Amino acid sequence: MTGRLLLDEFLPYRLVRASELVSRRFAARYRAAYGISRPEWRTFAILGQLGNTTATEIGRRSTMHKTKVSRAVAALEKRGWLSRATDVADRRAEQLELTEEGAKVYGELVALARSFQAELLRDLGFEAADRLDAGLAAVEKHFLREE
């Protein structure tokens, strides 16, 4: 029961490594195509999906720190891809949405993501991808409940 730990049997280690391998490869593509960083892509993706949301909600869904979100939002705004408007019901919050130009870029990023996912499913094989899906769902179910 003592002795060394075999990392290939340690789930957190394998999860982190797999995540880095996959996300680094995907990041290389959108960085090459549009020069956006990881926090920017994540912000883009959530905002694009929801259509209209706040920085706090982006942080909650992405597990990004609020300062990271704040800076990503500022960067996207600066590039003219995102606009802010103070929420009338709660003037602390800002409703964010993509500009017309931003929506166009978002559409292209979605296409990039879809082709990456298709490629990934092909590489992993259907059955393995399905198992990964189920395993991740269990992690999400347990860990996302607690905040």
Distance CA 66, CA 78 (A): 18
Q: Shortest approach of a copy of itself to residue 88 CB, angstroms?
A: 25
Contact between 129 and a copy of itself (CB under 8 A)?
yes
First CA to last CA distance, the chain: 34
Contact between 46 and a copy of itself (CB under 8 A)?
yes
43 versus 105: smaller Cβ distance to DNA: 43
Q: Shortest approach of DNA to residue 66 CB, angstroms?
A: 5
Contact between 115 and a copy of itself (CB under 8 A)?
no
Q: Which of 28, 33, 51, 101 binds a copy of itself (CB under 8 A)?
A: 51
8 versus 89: smaller Cβ distance to a copy of itself: 8
Distance CA 71, CA 68 (A): 5
Contact between 134 and a copy of itself (CB under 8 A)?
yes
Burial class (CB in 10 A: 0-12, 13-18, 19+), 34: middle
Q: Shortest approach of a copy of itself to residue 82 CB, angstroms?
A: 15
Burial 94-114 (b: 16+ CB within 10 A, else e): bbbbbeeebeebbeebeebee
